[in-house]
Structure 1
Amino acid sequence: MSYTNSHYSEDEEAALWVARHMNNMVDVIEFKEWLDGSPGRRERFDALWATCMEDAVTQGLQLTAAQEWPWWDETSPYSAKERQSTFWNRTGLFGAVAASLVAILTFAWPYLHPEGQVFTTAAGQTREVVLADGSTVILNGASRISAQISDEQRNITLEAGEALFDVTHDPARPFTVIAAEGRATVLGTRFDLALNNKSLDLEVERGKVRLEPLDYADRAVVVTASHRASLMDSYVSQPLAIEKATATSWEDGWLEAQNMSLGEIIPRLQRWTDRQIRVEDAGLLTIPAAGRFRLSDPDLVLESLGTLYHFKVTKRDNAFVLSKQ
């Protein structure tokens, strides 16, 4: 059975396929045939899908669906199987849902984020998103990126926190990430970029990344696979070889601390808790620490570090306060 209507525009057809994917009702073979049927369909679908992954759009779609069709809501007494069966059996309901999605995407999409897409996470939350060019980004906790993807350029801004980028290869459109005072430029690679206090830390898992201060292109350093480098005070450190990726261990919920100071550990842990981590004595920040810690329990991590390295952790208001014993 074909779901594609010759009367729909390319944007409308892409939106219909997004609707089917959102409800797990996709004929994989037919979807591939549609993608291959005309140039630009993959890009159009990816862009609409990425837009739907944004919090504001997703919440709007869910609210509309829940108001119009109570059986759609996952909190309703209907089981997932019943909702799917109802979806297919009720005359015209797929068309109505799809039509709503088409209207939202094809007409509102160009105006939703005139400055680009925005993706965020709360403390302790990780999130994987697909950008309009097919690149994927996994955001660590308390992180935020904005993305501007066009036919000529791919510009990302890491506004807070940390993100793991897996970049689709495209020599005609370099992939650029700006964070604080630095810029990382790649063609196709996998790398982690983190804002840690005054340092911009880069770890390259695959490919090459050019790291440079925004105002000093002549200070750029090319960081190759299995190397890390940091940018601070407008200078990039010399890349250091690493035996295994540690910066991306947060993807699995762990903090791998190897030859780190407490001052380096705190911003990484801060992304996993709403409580502020305050240090009353600056001397504590230089304490060297090592170990493997579960990020989902920042309270226990701080208590363990305090026990190991002889400092006190006190809960005060909405904060963890670290002080000398």
Structure 2
Amino acid sequence: MRLLAPDCTPVQRAAFERWRDADAAHAAAYREVALLWKLSKAAMQDPALAAAARRALQPEPRARQRRWLIPAFAAGFAALAVAAIVPRWLAPPADPAGITYTTSAGQQRTVTLSDGSSILLDTDSDVVVRYSARTRRVDLLRGQAQFSVQGNHAWPFVVHAGAGTVTAVGTQFQVRLDEQVTEVALLKGKLAIAAQAPGGATQDASLIGGQGLCYDQSGQISPVHNADLQQAKGWTQGQLFVHNWRLAELVAEMNRYSDTKLQLGDPSLQNVRISGVFRTSDQRTLLLLLQQGWAIRARRVSDTQIQLLR
């Protein structure tokens, strides 16, 4: 009301702009109020409501003893009209139909979105993108992705993954979805993370550039830690930086990038420690290095399976 008043001052408008820009929730709240104002204005122009108002203002003289019925009817009709409009406004709008983007094993793909943001999908990953007037929503269904987001405080960018959400405004970050945990690494900017337990309780956390965290399916968020930026940037360039990994971890990671899966044929190999830099697309060189540097041999058991033995 104040903004629409003719005597609204520049100081008041500036204060409003500061408030709206301070938080994406403020901007969303203002958009909702503006929408209700617009809907109520449209309701005022409804022919049925206008006719009821005219009847209420010009009652018939012969029905003077029942004049109260006419304005009461008009008021009731208006209330019904508003009651029909307001629930539709209050109810959350249906999610728009999503667009699905997918990569197969060994494939990476960059998707440029309508607002200039982009998603780099890692191997064997799925996302669904749903943009609406209220929010930019992306559902990470499987795998790993890097998000480069164009800033817009009034239009938050929200990634749904596992049991939580990651909300960004003008940032670059990565989200990885595993069976048990979801990992978040922030390359630059700021992030807000919310994780929800099955019972409905939530935990919140925030990150600044260079930090990371993870949360599990129970909604528990880990302490914030320094992200492994070398590892985070490495996979976007097809490289895997391995620092004292267990062989079982290395095999599991390399298997994400190939249809031919490596298998540990000897349980004693699981805890063999490996360090090095490997090309995610070059399984053959990995096998040569393992056989040259460690007491390991590779045996192909089928077209899609190679067994590692002592």
Query: So what's the TM-score if we normalise by structure 2?
Result: 0.60
* C-alpha displacement of 1:210: 2.8
Tell me, yes or no, if structure 1 residue 245 matches structure 2 residue 230. Answer: yes
Which of 222, 226, 243 does residue 210 from structure 2 map onto? 226
Give the unaligned 5+ runs of structure 1.
1-112
Tell me, yes or no, if structure 1 residue 186 matches structure 2 residue 171. Answer: no
Provide the residue aligned with 1:313 in structure 2.
Answer: 298
Verify the 8 A CA contact 1:123 1:272 in the aligned structure 2. yes
* C-alpha displacement of 1:146: 0.8
Distance 1:189 1:309, change over 3 A: farther
* C-alpha displacement of 1:204: 0.9
Provide the residue aligned with 1:128 in structure 2.
Answer: 110
Q: Distance in 1 between the 2:294 and 2:180 partners?
A: 24
Provide the residue aligned with 2:100 in structure 1.
Answer: 118
Q: Distance in 1 between the 2:183 and 2:287 partners?
A: 22
Q: Distance in 2 between the 1:243 and 1:121 partners?
A: 24
SS in 2 for 1:161: strand
Distance 1:242 1:181, change over 3 A: closer
Provide the residue aligned with 1:266 in structure 2.
Answer: 251
* C-alpha displacement of 1:254: 0.8
Render the CA deviation track for 1:172-210: whole Å, top value 9, x for unaligned: 222221223332222221011123453322211001223
Equivalent position amino acid for 1:271 in 2: R
Equivalent position amino acid for 1:292 in 2: V
Equivalent position amino acid for 2:282 in 1: D
Render the CA deviation track for 1:253-288: whole Å, top value 9, x for unaligned: 111123433344334322321123334455644443
Provide the residue aligned with 1:165 in structure 2.
Answer: 147
Distance 1:233 1:285, change over 3 A: farther
Provide the residue aligned with 1:291 in structure 2.
Answer: 276
SS in 1 for 2:107: coil
Q: Distance in 2 between the 1:274 and 1:227 partners?
A: 33
Verify the 8 A CA contact 2:196 2:203 in the aligned structure 1. no
Aligned residue pairs total 213
Verify the 8 A CA contact 2:196 2:202 in the aligned structure 1. no
Equivalent position amino acid for 2:215 in 1: L
- 1:1-325 equivalent positions in 2, closer than 5 A: 115-215=97-197, 218-234=202-218, 235-242=220-227, 244-280=229-265, 284-305=269-290, 307-325=292-310
SS in 1 for 2:134: coil
Distance 1:312 1:196, change over 3 A: farther
Render the CA deviation track for 1:45-91: whole Å, top value 9, x for unaligned: xxxxxxxxxxxxxxxxxxxxxxxxxxxxxxxxxxxxxxxxxxxxxxx
Verify the 8 A CA contact 1:277 1:322 in the aligned structure 2. yes
Query: So what's the TM-score if we normalise by structure 1?
Result: 0.58
When the two chains are superposed, the root-mean-square deviation of aligned CA atoms in Å is 2.7
Larger radius of gyration: 2
